[in-house]
Structure 1
Amino acid sequence: MQLTYKGKTKDVYSLEDGNYLLRFKDDVTGENGVFDPGANTVGLTIEGVGRAGLSLTKFFFEKLNAEGIPTHYVDADIENATMTVKPAELFGNGLEVICRYRAVGSFLKRYGMYAKEGQALDAFVEVTLKDDAKGDPPINEDALDMLGVLTKEEYKELKELTQKIGGVVKEELAKKDIDLYDIKFEFGRIGENKHIALIDEISGGNMRAYKNGEYIEPLQLEKLMLSK
């Protein structure tokens, strides 16, 4: 296998069969030693978070695949912290799609004139460009279409998939009395027909979750979710 990309939280290798291997690291995004799923820099290293994140990702991707929701997932090797995935074509240079159930983080910073902290949101979908230098600027449906990143039909599908997958995650967390505040997804085009599918991961590193009003760190979230 050949290294094709070194990411903040994962490295990507190409395989001879055309698939890719993602190697999960123990790094998480944040600033000044504080975890933040929306940050553009590695903020801290937490021993074991790579395997834990992969374990939760495996749990959710296998559930989504079983429900017929398109993903790039093939299989996972927890011991080696690796996941095999199908090749996917990014939208432009990559998009991040956030599904928000509570007003926190950057949403609250931007709309604090109207929003109260923790205010309930109805699965609000927000799309940002993956551009670290510009701080991942938000972009709307019209601009995405006009700039040729994706069509309005693709945006509609992207939004529906985001809310559907977010709902699956939220429902699973609720079984453990955990409240999902927001979650970040990535999507790509897969296969000969270029259908939209979920890519990347679903772990504590890309969501904010609370239990009894207390924020749950990524490593703890995975322990709570995967405990019998």
Structure 2
Amino acid sequence: MARRKKVYEGKAKILYEGPEPGTLIQYFKDDGGLVVANAQPAQGQTEGKGVLNNRLSEFFMSGLNSIGVPTHFIRRLNMREQLVRMAEIVPVEVVVRNFAAGEMSRRLGIPEGTPLPRPIVEYYYKDDKLGSPMVSEEHVIAFGWASQQDLDDMIALALRVNDFLSGVMLGVGIRLADFRIEVGRIWEGDYMRLIVADEISPDSCRLWDMRGNEGADGQVREPGPLPDVYTELARRLGVLPSNVTHALKPTLIN
């Protein structure tokens, strides 16, 4: 499919005009890495990352669509591109945390790996120049980034995504500590609804390996970061392209 006008280019993806009104072609680059709330992007290029993220995001978005969670994903076009619905992105990243880690552990003094009493939803203003600062519901509503109804719907979407991802990951021996999603607005006639947009990949998740944690002394270790996260996750989920066999470094929510 011939590409048309470039609409947007970020650290990890390029968006082009789609073949039909209301569609875009999303191209996954090898550049960048960490594109999640309050975290620093990886520098440089990692060969093959875009191919794996395209396959992984397809897997997760298709799964969400199949259980009635609306996403912008339509279909994968080739190794690096997928066709998606055009959406107005809400400038608030939604982070769901199941375990204390990273920035939450530092901010609240909770030991890394502590299970949280329930999934905690946080909001981060989507602005790379500001480092995507954490904001409250009051900020989101006061500055008009989203309405209270939008926030209620965003929480419902995020928690459904959490249930789905947690179950999928657990089934392949991975603990989903936390993740980030972006939400978009689409219109169907006069009706507006919110959908999961952007991508779901290791760039936006913190994943801990639950396999092989027994040490030389026979003691079971706490789950740790998934080694070679892109390749290993694709392998366990059965979506590893046959021509991508090298290992890639993990990137995590901060």
Question: Structure 1 length as normaliser, TM-score?
Answer: 0.89
Equivalent position of 1:158 in the other structure? 154
In 2, Cα distance between equivalents of 1:151 and 1:4? 27
Contact between 2:36 and 2:180, CA under 8 Å: does it hold in 1?
A: no
Equivalent position of 1:138 in the other structure? 134
In 2, Cα distance between equivalents of 1:38 and 1:77? 31
Give the number of aligned pairs.
Answer: 219
Please state whether the residue corresponding to 1:68 is helix, strand or coil.
coil
1:223, distance to aligned residue in structure 2 (A): 2.0
Q: Percent identity?
A: 27
Letter of the 1:202 counterpart = I
In 2, Cα distance between equivalents of 1:149 and 1:130? 10
The reply on whether 1:218 has 2:210 as its aligned counterpart is no
In 1, Cα distance between equivalents of 2:48 and 2:235? 11
Contact between 1:98 and 1:183, CA under 8 Å: does it hold in 2?
A: yes
**Change beyond 3 A, Cα 1:224–1:5:** same
The reply on whether 1:111 has 2:108 as its aligned counterpart is yes
1:108, distance to aligned residue in structure 2 (A): 1.6
Unaligned runs of at least 5 residues, structure 1: none
Please state whether the residue corresponding to 1:27 is helix, strand or coil.
coil
Contact between 1:37 and 1:207, CA under 8 Å: does it hold in 2?
A: no
In 2, Cα distance between equivalents of 1:204 and 1:223? 13
Equivalent position of 1:47 in the other structure? 47
Equivalent position of 2:29 in the other structure? 25
Letter of the 1:86 counterpart = R
Letter of the 2:76 counterpart = A
The reply on whether 1:7 has 2:10 as its aligned counterpart is yes
1:39, distance to aligned residue in structure 2 (A): 2.6
**Change beyond 3 A, Cα 1:140–1:37:** closer
Instruction: Provide the alpha-carbon RMSD of the alignment.
Output: 1.9
In 1, Cα distance between equivalents of 2:158 and 2:177? 14
**Change beyond 3 A, Cα 1:65–1:222:** same
Please state whether the residue corresponding to 2:176 is helix, strand or coil.
strand
In 1, Cα distance between equivalents of 2:142 and 2:16? 33
Equivalent position of 2:89 in the other structure? 90
- Between structure 1 and structure 2, the one with the greater Rg is 2
Equivalent position of 1:197 in the other structure? 195
Contact between 1:99 and 1:184, CA under 8 Å: does it hold in 2?
A: yes
In 2, Cα distance between equivalents of 1:145 and 1:38? 20
Unaligned runs of at least 5 residues, structure 2: 211-222, 241-254
**Change beyond 3 A, Cα 1:21–1:10:** same
1:44, distance to aligned residue in structure 2 (A): 4.0
Q: Deviations over 1:155-211 (max 9, x none)?
A: 011011101111101100100111111111000101232200000111111101111
Letter of the 1:71 counterpart = T
1:37, distance to aligned residue in structure 2 (A): 7.5
Please state whether the residue corresponding to 1:163 is helix, strand or coil.
helix
Contact between 2:89 and 2:183, CA under 8 Å: does it hold in 1?
A: yes
1:67, distance to aligned residue in structure 2 (A): 1.0
Matches within 5 A, 1:178-193: 178-192=174-188, 193=191
In 1, Cα distance between equivalents of 2:71 and 2:142? 27
Question: Structure 2 length as normaliser, TM-score?
Answer: 0.81
Q: Deviations over 1:24-72 (max 9, x none)?
A: 0112435xxxx98753433342221111111111111111111111111
Please state whether the residue corresponding to 1:57 is helix, strand or coil.
helix
The structure richer in strand per residue is 1
